[in-house]
Amino acid sequence: MDQYEKRGYLNSDFKLFHLLDSKKQQFEYHYHDFDKIIIFIRGSVTYRIEGCTYLLNPYDIILVGHNDIHKPDINSDVPYERIIVYLSPGFLSAYQGDNYDLSDCFKKSKELHSHVIRIHSMEKSSLYLTLTNLEHACTHNGYAKDLYCQVVFLEFMIQLNRASATNRVQYMQPATGDLRILKILDYLNSHLTEDMTVDTIAEACFISRYHLMHRFKQQTGYTLFDYITEKRLLFARNSLKSGRSVTEVCFQSGFKNYSTFSRAYKKQFHLSPSDTKREQNHL
Q: Give the up-direction half-sphere exposure of residue 276: CA atoms within 13 A in the CB hemisphere.
A: 24
Q: Indicate if 83 and 126 belong to the same structural domain.
A: yes
Contact status, residue 50 vs residue 185, Cβ threshold 8 Å: yes
Where residue 5 falls among pLDDT bands split at 50, 70, 90? low
Boundaries of domain holding 82: 5-171
Report, as an integer, the average pLDDT of 231-242: 87
Where residue 117 falls among pLDDT bands split at 50, 70, 90? very high
The pLDDT of residue 120 is: 78
The pLDDT of residue 177 is: 58
Q: Among 171, 205, 236, identify where a domain stops.
A: 171
Q: Indicate if 41 and 149 belong to the same structural domain.
A: yes
Q: Indicate if 66 and 120 belong to the same structural domain.
A: yes
Reported as a single tens digit per residue, the pLDDT across 81-112 is 999 999 987 888 888 888 999 999 999 998 88
C-alpha distance from residue 25 to each of 19, 75, 179 (Å): 13, 9, 30
Report, as an integer, the average pLDDT of 199-221: 87
pLDDT higher than threshold 60 for residue 282: no
Q: Among 171, 194, 224, identify where a domain stops.
A: 171
More confident residue, 199 or 220: 199
Contact status, residue 102 vs residue 158, Cβ threshold 8 Å: yes
The model's pTM is 0.78
Average pLDDT of the chain, as a whole number:
86
Which of 7-21, 73-87, 189-203, 254-268 bottoms out in mean pLDDT, i.e. has the lowest?
Answer: 7-21
The pLDDT of residue 102 is: 92
Where residue 199 falls among pLDDT bands split at 50, 70, 90? very high
The pLDDT of residue 11 is: 54
- Helices 273-281 & 258-269, crossing angle to 10 degrees? 70
Q: What does DSSP say about strands 30-31 and 5-6: parallel, antiparallel, or unpaired?
A: parallel
Domain count, the chain: 2
Q: Indicate if 22 and 130 belong to the same structural domain.
A: yes
Q: Indicate if 189 and 161 belong to the same structural domain.
A: no
Where residue 7 falls among pLDDT bands split at 50, 70, 90? low
Reported as a single tens digit per residue, the pLDDT across 140-191 is 888 998 889 889 999 999 999 999 998 889 999 887 656 788 788 889 988 9
Contact status, residue 229 vs residue 256, Cβ threshold 8 Å: no
Q: Indicate if 162 and 184 belong to the same structural domain.
A: no
Q: Indicate if 107 and 12 belong to the same structural domain.
A: yes
Percent of the chain exceeding pLDDT 90 equals: 36
The pLDDT of residue 248 is: 92
Sign of CA dihedral 110, 112, 115, 119: negative
Q: Among 171, 198, 214, identify where a domain stops.
A: 171
Q: Indicate if 199 and 137 belong to the same structural domain.
A: no
Q: Indicate if 36 and 163 belong to the same structural domain.
A: yes
Alpha helices in 166-245 (DSSP H): 179-190, 198-204, 209-220, 224-241
Q: Indicate if 144 and 205 belong to the same structural domain.
A: no
Q: Give the up-direction half-sphere exposure of residue 226: CA atoms within 13 A in the CB hemisphere.
A: 13
pLDDT higher than threshold 90 for residue 234: no
CATH number of the domain to which 46 belongs: 2.60.120.280
Q: Indicate if 196 and 125 belong to the same structural domain.
A: no
pLDDT higher than threshold 50 for residue 1: no
CATH number of the domain to which 201 belongs: 1.10.10.60
Reported as a single tens digit per residue, the pLDDT across 24-71 is 778 888 888 889 999 999 999 999 888 788 999 999 999 999 888 888
Q: Indicate if 256 and 117 belong to the same structural domain.
A: no
Where residue 2 falls among pLDDT bands split at 50, 70, 90? very low
